[in-house]
Amino acid sequence: MRILITGGAGFIGSNLVSRLFLEGHTIRVLDKLCPQIHGDNPSLSPLLQHVNGKCEFIHGDVCCLDTVRSALAGCNAVVHLAAETGTGQSMYEVTKYCQTNVQGTGVLLEAMTEYKNAIRKVVVASSRAVYGEGRYFLEDKYHYPRARNEGDLSRGIFEPRCFETGRVMQAVATHEDSLIQPNSIYGLTKYTQEHMTLLNCNALNIPVVALRFQNVYGPGQSLSNPYTGILSIFSTRILHGHGVDIYEDGNESRDFIYIDDVVDSIVLALNNEEVTGEVFGVGTGTATSVLEVAEELVSLYGIDVPIKVTGSYRVGDIRHNFADTSKGERVLGFKAKTSFEAGIVKFVDWVKGQPLQDDRYGESLDILKKRGLFK
């Protein structure tokens, strides 16, 4: 295949480029090389160096129609990864998130109309952020709690409660038909991006698959970006000897999926000639608490820094979300192979070989605090 990967120099993209290159595909990457991911001098970006020689690289913006048109020429598959990805940041840099994630997708789809007969598969990266809290269970039925309210959070009641009875609900696996109810601008733009892509490709008869990734981690994750990726944020703090502050009571949880598994899911989606118009949750199906992540990292780095559970919280954060993996297993044949215990060891080994990055986490929190988005 001749594959265009938008955002292909990023964390997921660079790992995908390596895999597809090994499999003998011809790859073209279109990437803006955002300084938040690649640093102020993008030519020195380790992620860019990682894809060099494995693809044709176009340094450009997915929002520019002429650039995207020429990037698409000659391609017969597209993986759309280009996006702004910070949940907290999306709550104040709203225009930027709408521009890249929504307008950028619009431009890509518009350009694709000219190549609709050539393109045999589109894969769009969506996110579990589209669900917000996701699915919960209480008193014989499923619930989809809205964003937690300020009153509860400020009193340290972090688990979502039934708004009628006030009882705490139990998080259960979230599946593809669960209610779409994003809690953040990021989540909303990801849903818009996903929905636009499915709708337009279906109309143009271009086979399309949307993958809703859970929290992805592993080699290639930006260690300098303080806005996303808790494993890398915690790692940079620990390696500086700085303490790790944990929000809420530390029991908030995520479904952490190793990068190689995510790459597998994209490759399966690209190669599958039967499945089209479908959405798949991509996770392990296992929830791990944020406190467990911090404790494991401190122990693996062997650096004794304090872990402090602060009771603070960020507006827009969800409490729990983990994937129901049954549809992906059944229809796509996808099952994550790497347990969190094994993946975190590989991640830490990789981080130990990387240059230490500045710890800009405090700065990013100050911005949230000033805007009333961190309490």
Task: Please give the residue ranges that form the binding site for ligand NAD (CB under 6 A).
Answer: 6-7, 9-13, 30-34, 37, 61-63, 81-85, 100, 104, 125, 127, 190, 213, 215-216, 222
Shortest Å, Cβ 90 to ligand NAD:
10
**Closer CB to ligand NAD, 84 or 261, in the complex:** 84
Residue number of the CB atom closest to ligand NAD: 10
Listed in sequence order, the residues at least 6 apart from 118 whose beta carbon sits closer than 8 Å to its beta carbon are: 74, 75, 76
- Tokens representing 61? 């913006």
Question: 């039925």: which residue's tokens?
Answer: 141
- Tokens representing 264? 């597998």
**Closer CB to ligand NAD, 8 or 207, in the complex:** 8
What does the alpha-carbon distance between residue 246 and residue 234 come to, in Å, rounded to a whole number? 10
**Closer CB to ligand NAD, 81 or 169, in the complex:** 81
- Tokens representing 193? 């991006």
Shortest Å, Cβ 182 to ligand NAD:
12
What does the alpha-carbon distance between residue 201 and residue 310 come to, in Å, rounded to a whole number? 46
Q: How many CB atoms lie within 10 A of CB 243?
A: 14
Shortest Å, Cβ 32 to ligand NAD:
4
Coil/strand/helix, residue 50: helix
Q: How many CA atoms lie within 13 A of 120 on its CB side?
A: 12
**What is the DSSP track for 356-375?**
PPP--HHHHHHHHHHTT-B-
- Tokens representing 121? 């598969």
**Closer CB to ligand NAD, 32 or 237, in the complex:** 32
User: Do residues 182 and 192 lie in contact, with contact meaning Cβ atoms separated by under 8 Å?
Assistant: no
What is the longest distance spanned by two Cα atoms in the chain? 59
**Closer CB to ligand NAD, 193 or 272, in the complex:** 193
Shortest Å, Cβ 225 to ligand NAD:
7
**Closer CB to ligand NAD, 11 or 158, in the complex:** 11
Listed in sequence order, the residues at least 6 apart from 117 whose beta carbon sits closer than 8 Å to its beta carbon are: none
Shortest Å, Cβ 333 to ligand NAD:
21
What does the alpha-carbon distance between residue 318 and residue 159 come to, in Å, rounded to a whole number? 10
Shortest Å, Cβ 218 to ligand NAD:
9
Listed in sequence order, the residues at least 6 apart from 190 whose beta carbon sits closer than 8 Å to its beta carbon are: 83, 101, 126, 127, 129, 130, 182
Active site residues: 186
